Structure formats: C-alpha cells, structure tokens
Amino acid sequence: MSDATDARTPAQIEADIKTRRADLADTLDEIGVRLHPSTIAGDARAKVTSAVDQTAGRAFVALNRAANGVRAQFVTEEGSPRLERVIPVALLTVGLVGLCVTSATKTKRRQPGLCATTKRRR
C-alpha cells in the first residue's frame, strides 16, 4: 500500500466507504430506472412517435409542393384563374362523370337482379 492510503484514519476510511456505497446505490437506482420495462417502452414510443412525425412532416411538405405545382397550372400569381386551362379540364371532368353515370345506369338495366333479391315464379 502507498503512504497516502496508510495515512488515512479509520474515520476517513469509513467516510470513504459510505460515500462509495451512496454512489453505488445511486448508480444501481439509475440502472434500475433505465432497464425498467415502462422506461424502455416509453423510449421506444418516443422514437416511433418522432419517426412518424418526421415522416408525416415530409409527406405534408411533398403534398404541399405538389398542390402548389398544380395550383400554379390553373391560377396565376395574382390569384385569377387561367381560363385557357380551367375550361378544358372542367369539360373533361363533366364528360367523364357523365360517362360514368351513363355506364352505371345501363348496367343496372341489363342486370335487374344484381342489387335486389328476386324470386322466380313457376
């Protein structure tokens, strides 16, 4: 042993032991908290939430950019509609809706028993 260790009194050694015990108890408590299932689950939940928030944020930014790009195609910078683009798209939309409605009504006429139950009479 060195001279510094030999020079300590029994009271100093006991105080050092108490200090080390307290430090060890604090360390064990911290390890227990870190390894507790609720702490692990909370940390995992926080990581997942953060990842979802980041992904949702990226998706929002991408959709916002896309929407602004589409909007720029149909609206001028001043906010007035670009009629040379709006009218053809509106006519195309009306035509497609009309085609869908016509197709749906023709299908119902050809197959009357599709939606309702029918009984055969003999």
The sign of the CA dihedral 15, 18, 22, 27 is: positive
106 pLDDT band, cuts 50/70/90, is confident
Q: Tell me what pLDDT residue 60 has.
A: 94
105 pLDDT band, cuts 50/70/90, is confident
Q: pLDDT, tens digit, for every residue of 81-90?
A: 989 999 999 9
Q: Tell me what pLDDT residue 43 has.
A: 92
Q: Report how far residue 51's alpha carbon sits from residue 47's, in angstroms, rounded to the nearest whole number.
A: 6
Q: pLDDT, tens digit, for every residue of 22-41?
A: 999 999 999 999 999 999 99
Mean pLDDT score of the chain: 86
pLDDT score of 3 more than 60: no
